[in-house]
Amino acid sequence: MNFKKSIVILGLLLIFISCATNPFTGKKTMAFISNAQLFPSSFAQYNQVKSENKIITSTKDSDMITRVGQRIAVAAERWLNANGNQGYLKDYKWEYTLIESEQINAWCMPGGKIAFYTGILPIADNETGVATIMGHEVAHALANHGQQRMSAAYLQQGIALAGNVALANDSNGQAIFNQSYGVVTTVGGMLPFSRSHETQADEIGLRLMALAGYNPDEASELWKRMKAKSGGQAPPEFLSTHPSNDIRISNLKKWSPAAKAEAAKFGVTSFRPIN
C-alpha cells in the first residue's frame, strides 16, 4: 500500500471513530476535540471578551436578554429530556451578556456563553425578535457547531500537510496543490459547511423559540429588518459563511408551522404578545 492510500485510509478511519450523533440534528458529526477539552477554553475566551468591553447590567434591555436566554435554555432542556437525552446539558454553563457596541451581532460560545451587542437590539425591535436571535445562537451551542468547525479545520490542515508530504519530491506539483487547495477547500468545503450550520441553527432556533412561548412567525420579520438594514448588499452566497437573507426568510416562513406543531406537543398553543 503506497503512502497516499495510507493517508486516505487513516483520514477516513479518524473521521469514522471521531463522529458523534447530535440529538437536535439526528446526524453524525465530526468531533476531533471533546467538549470537555473545548468548554474550558471557550469559557476563558468569553471572560476575556467581557474584560475588554463595557458590559451593560441592571437595565431593561440586559434583563430582557437574560430572561429570554433562560427561557430558551429551559425549552432546550425540556425538549432534550422528552426525547431521551437527560443530562445532555450537564456541562453547559449558561450566561447572557449585553455588550455596549454598535456592532450588529450576537454570538454563543461552545458551552452556552452568549453575548448580544447593543447594536443588534434596534433590529430585534422587540422581545420576540430577541428570542429569534437567542434561539439561533443557543442552537449553535446545542448542535456543537463550534466543535465541528474546529474538527473540520483540523481535517483541512491535516490533508494539506499530507498533500505536501506526498508531493515532497515534486516541487511543481506541490506548488500547484498549495495554490489550489486553499481556494477549493474553502469555497467548496468550509463555506458550505458554515452555511449548513447557519441553516441548522435557524431551524433549531425556531423550534426553541416556539417552545419557549415566542411566535415563530416573527422570525422571518426579523430577517426582513436585517435585510433592510444591510441595504441588500451582500457577497454572493457561495462566497459567504451565511445563507442569503432571502433564503433565510423563505426557510423561516416554511418551517414556522412545524415549529408551532412541535411546541404544541409540549402544551404551548399560544404565544407571548409582540412588544
> Domains in the chain, please, with CATH?
35-264 (3.40.390)
pLDDT of residue 1: 45
3-state secondary structure of 57: coil
Q: Please state, in angstroms and rounded to a whole number, the distance separating the CA atoms of residues 94 and 238.
A: 33
CA dihedral for 213, 210, 243, 46, sign (positive or negative): positive
Residue 165: pLDDT over 90: no
Take residue 161 and report the three cell numbers written for it: 500537510
CB 115 within 8 A of CB 97: yes
**What single-letter amino acid sits at 91?**
D
Q: Please state, in angstroms and rounded to a whole number, the distance separating the CA atoms of residues 83 and 146.
A: 23
Predicted TM-score (pTM) of this structure = 0.75
Q: Please state, in angstroms and rounded to a whole number, the distance separating the CA atoms of residues 256 and 216.
A: 6
Angle at 79 between CA 74 and CA 85, to 5 degrees: 110
Q: Please state, in angstroms and rounded to a whole number, the distance separating the CA atoms of residues 79 and 89.
A: 11
- Cite the beta strand spans of the chain per DSSP E: 19-21, 28-30, 55-56, 95-99, 106-109, 113-117
Which of 162, 151, 49, 20 has the alpha carbon at shortest distance from 108? Answer: 49
Band of pLDDT at residue 244, cut at 50, 70 and 90 = confident
For 116-163, the pLDDT digits (tens) are: 999 999 999 999 999 999 999 899 888 876 655 665 554 445 444 544
Catalytic residues: 137
Hey, what's the torsion of the CAs at 177, 179, 182, 187, to 10 degrees? -110
Where is pLDDT greater, at 260 or 21?
A: 260
**Residue 220, Cβ neighbours under 10 Å: how many?**
19
For 35-56, the pLDDT digits (tens) are: 787 788 889 999 999 999 999 9
Band of pLDDT at residue 169, cut at 50, 70 and 90 = low
Q: What are phi and psi of 105, to 5 degrees?
A: -160, 155
